[in-house]
Structure 1
């Protein structure tokens, strides 16, 4: 297996290119759509009928007649956009349902299989699940403002539209550990970390499952890193070095949390003298560090560990099939893309540890309490999400995890 790491902005394009390889090109989709689906997509002007020009005044007038837009989102930050969106588009109410990635994807699938069409926009990660469970079954369709086609690469508009990049990585308490206490993922298998590790549950959290599946998919790089760390070749007692790493982490009795927001408080507790290392925390959680409103959490990410920091993946926003408010949905997609300064719908996501999909950003986010913290994406080494590999392997990895977790 080949290690996939991002070293430059150009190589980011490979991320979406992998996704394109598993979906039909937009130009060919119309011919493959069932008649009813094709008629709806053509009328809504989404997917293969994406327009080359949009009259936004006309869209807004139609959206006012629809009255509202319903978004299923994975992020609680989306809720903060309601007031601004409604002030920009009077007469259009924004209904936000924060469900987590797994919950949002499952709700769309479950509702549509039952012939229920409540949502307009699905705003979540879980790229592989969205592609295979929803997009390939005509349950979601891409739409983007055509005027952004020059700044949002095609690979991030087809087969699905991405708003930004998220990532999952390792965090530590910066008060107890002024310097990162580990140099490699393999350090977490050492005896000194017994009962001092915590992780977001891969059984209930889609992105955590994506992370541990990516670990399994990058077994070769982990085997090479094992030899560097321990000075000898790895001896396998599991199918590969990725499973071996997970086995070693589980042997250290990690505490498992259902939600990363709970884990963040545990890892970053400023009063703790023996905090754990936290696995599968979103990079964007760095925005919570030192924030008095959040208790002055002492949080930093492990940004220089081998063989990679963690998993980088796109967070998507697409229109659901038979969206009851398609014009309002288009306004919301336009709003969520934000501005080159990280304004409007990008505002709560324009933080250190998130990276916009659009390429015309003129500013980098500044951390309010750690102004010297800069994390340009091209300076970080991530594993690249492999949606095909994740889809084909994640069930096996999840089953293995459930059998082996204590």
Structure 2
């Protein structure tokens, strides 16, 4: 690896000595941080003000981050020093093995980060939850995910198109790998008999049945939030969307509510990794920023959008709009141990959805 690379300087400072890290960072060039949320601009400004350093937050989609990190690494022209990226499977498959990025977990944070989030380091878990319109219904009108495959909900379920967002096919794969018994049990609870299917798993059978029930597949969370939550609807959609969209209740007058008792899960999570470009010229500043986003002060702007920090030290703010924290144990959690399989099988799951989807 090149001289002056991240690896070459990784041990220049004792990682437990924050003061030494700050002092070393002050000798370095400014950094850029890539993230798929606009909140990164505010986070970088807060970081800069706190430490007297210069960091710039740049909103970049996960797909674009991948391309940029690879291109910048290959050309030895690193622009993004830190990547906060929600495409964990692609990072596991393309970025880490090729040495474009490196994992860094500050020593004084290790005990606060659960083992499954350490390698690679996840700074937060992001949730997609099933939601209904609280103006049209006194309580959630659905109690079991298999209800969504029945005629009653034909054409009335809104989700982000799995062909446009890798986290959705990752969810399919995760469900089959780690939650299939619960999907099968939910079928028996709904229909009073064991699932008989020609598909390879209960999860595949449910995904197929959902696809065949003509859901509204949108190009993002905003149209789902509107279809489910817009006021004044007699028969609003039921939908799956980012917990961040619950802020639209206040901003747009929406009537979104989480389906709190849905069997077997109220939603599912994916993780946001915090990684450092291997060839950054400012490794200490990059490390300091990673340390910062593992603190309550650092991650606070994203917690307001329902992003759950991985650090067990941090509690969610009382005014977080979705109320997700109270339901955290009812979410289907992401397991990165099968992240490479998620990446390898994306096309397979997309084809499966495409073949079975009916409008």
Q: Do both share a fold (TM > 0.5)?
A: yes
Of 203, 214, 220, the match for 1:253: 214
Please state if 1:132 is matched with 2:93.
Answer: yes
- How far residue 357 of structure 1 moved from its aligned partner, in angstroms, is 1.4
Q: Conserved in 2, the CA contact under 8 Å of 1:102 and 1:204?
A: no
- Which portions of structure 1, spanning 4 or more consecutive aligned residues, are displaced by more than 6 angstroms? none
Distance in 2 separating the partners of 1:374 and 1:205:
22
Q: Superposed, which structure 2 residues align to 1:201-220 within 5 Å?
A: 201-217=161-177, 218-220=179-181
Q: Which residue pairs with 1:10 in the alignment?
A: none
1:227-275 Cα offsets, whole Å, 9 max, x none, are 2211233332433322221222122222222222342233221233332
Q: Which residue pairs with 1:349 in the alignment?
A: 302
Q: Which residue pairs with 1:5 in the alignment?
A: none
Q: Which residue pairs with 1:44 in the alignment?
A: 9
Q: Conserved in 2, the CA contact under 8 Å of 1:128 and 1:387?
A: yes
Distance in 1 separating the partners of 2:221 and 2:346:
20
Distance in 1 separating the partners of 2:71 and 2:77:
8
Q: Which residue pairs with 2:249 in the alignment?
A: 290
Distance in 1 separating the partners of 2:216 and 2:2:
46
Please state if 1:322 is matched with 2:279.
Answer: yes
Distance in 1 separating the partners of 2:339 and 2:175:
13
Please state if 1:331 is matched with 2:293.
Answer: no
- How far residue 61 of structure 1 moved from its aligned partner, in angstroms, is 4.5
Aligned partner of residue 312 in structure 1, secondary structure: strand
- How far residue 180 of structure 1 moved from its aligned partner, in angstroms, is 1.0
Please state if 1:376 is matched with 2:319.
Answer: no
Distance in 1 separating the partners of 2:243 and 2:72:
31
Of 338, 354, 358, the match for 2:311: 358
Distance in 2 separating the partners of 1:384 and 1:326:
29
1:92-125 Cα offsets, whole Å, 9 max, x none, are 1x32222233332343234434554221111022
82-91 or 322-331, larger mean C-alpha shift = 82-91
Distance in 1 separating the partners of 2:9 and 2:224:
41
Distance in 2 separating the partners of 1:50 and 1:242:
48
- Structure 1: which 5+ residue stretches go unaligned? 1-35
- How far residue 194 of structure 1 moved from its aligned partner, in angstroms, is 1.6
1:2-55 Cα offsets, whole Å, 9 max, x none, are xxxxxxxxxxxxxxxxxxxxxxxxxxxxxxxxxx1698344231xxx5965354
Aligned partner of residue 150 in structure 1, secondary structure: helix
Distance in 1 separating the partners of 2:40 and 2:27:
24
- How far residue 65 of structure 1 moved from its aligned partner, in angstroms, is 4.4
Q: Could you tell me the TM-score, scaled by structure 2's length?
A: 0.87
Of 152, 173, 187, the match for 2:133: 173
Distance in 2 separating the partners of 1:405 and 1:115:
44
Q: CA RMSD in A?
A: 2.8
Q: Conserved in 1, the CA contact under 8 Å of 2:173 and 2:345?
A: yes
Aligned partner of residue 163 in structure 1, secondary structure: strand
383-392 or 207-216, larger mean C-alpha shift = 383-392
Q: Conserved in 2, the CA contact under 8 Å of 1:303 and 1:309?
A: yes
Aligned residue-pair number: 355
1:138-183 Cα offsets, whole Å, 9 max, x none, are 12112233222332345433x2112122222212222212211111
